[in-house]
Structure 1
Amino acid sequence: MSSIVVYSENDQEIYKVKKGVYQNDWDDSIKSYKFFENELCFHDSILLRGNKIIIPQQLCKSVLDAAYEGHPGIVAMKGRLRSKVWWPRIDKDVEQLVKASKVCTLVGLPNPTAPMKRRELPAAP
């Protein structure tokens, strides 16, 4: 949790959001946050969207890696993350990570269908 505070204080995107929330000065580079301005608030330098922590950009990769433990797949991983955290393009980041994984790609491949076999017709009922 302390690393989230440290990275949040040094994150330029979160700084711009703070300026937007408190001074109503929204920069064009943070348009994705403007849509949720009524849901945003700060608690000890940590940006929140409702009850979800907005992860600073430098920590997104480590949060994705932690949620990916056990190779849960796209749907389960999105569910894990959405319940606790948020950042712009979170869904896209999850999809890219899972699709790039060799393990998930192998597990997710459909089983090959068994070839159809001809059977002899019965001679009697």
Structure 2
Amino acid sequence: MDEDVFVIDEDQITEFSARKVAVATRWDKLLCQVLRAMNSNWPNPIEKKLEPFHKRESELAIENGCMFWGSKMVIPKELQSAVLCELHEGNPGMTKMKNLARTRVLLPNMDREIEETVRKCLHCQDQRSEAAQAPVHSWEFPAKPWNRLHIDFAGHNDFHWKVIIDARTKWPELLL
């Protein structure tokens, strides 16, 4: 029988240690309930706050007192701000922070928290690349019917039509 074992490399964790995460997990009210449910039976009916964990119950594991969802460490509430700070170290920007977080940790409302962290950071805002604004082009009204046409395809299953609409009169034509 193959077993998956997740090892926490404490040399890579700077702000917090695996031991600190394990202690915080035991003291976190929600994670404590999840741990109890994992070790015995899940309550029936499932409380709303436990639903996300219950849906993934076959993917949850405990290693050295730390909870994992697959290969991602579930971060207790007490340490979430520290994890966000560590992810934000070096001001990598929103996309890199999200990608890094998605591969390593599980935080509730992770995307929203990262977006808020980046929005509050002046350095990140200065480094943010602005998307080029496309110039607005309004179409000129055609002088005569059939001068400008709008063409598209429409259909369902095996039936396909070419739809042509005159821009001036809005007259539709369907071609099989």
Instruction: Give the TM-score category using the shorter length.
Output: 0.7 to 0.9
Task: Give the match for residue 29 of structure 2.
Answer: 12
Percent pairwise identity: 23
Q: Provide, for residues 54-85 of structure 1, a one-character-per-residue CA deviation record: whole Å limited to 9, x for no partner.
A: 01111010011011011111110111112211
What pairs up with 1:95-106 in 2 under 5 angstroms?
95-106=115-126
Q: Does 1:89 align with 2:109?
A: yes
Counterpart position of 2:67 = 47
Q: Which residue of 2 aligns with 1:116?
A: none
After TM superposition, what 4+ stretches of structure 1 lie above 3 angstroms from structure 2? none
State the shift of 1:109 in Å: 5.3
The structure with the largest alpha-carbon Rg is 2
- TM-score normalised per structure 2: 0.58
2:150 alignment counterpart: none
Contact 1:40 1:50 in 2 (8 A): yes
TM-score, length basis structure 1: 0.79
Unaligned runs of 5+ in 1: 114-125
More strand by share: 2
Would you say how many aligned residue pairs link Structure 1 and Structure 2?
113
Indicate the SS of the match to 1:48.
Answer: strand
Unaligned runs of 5+ in 2: 1-17, 134-176
More helix by share: 1
Change (3 A) 1:20 1:111: closer
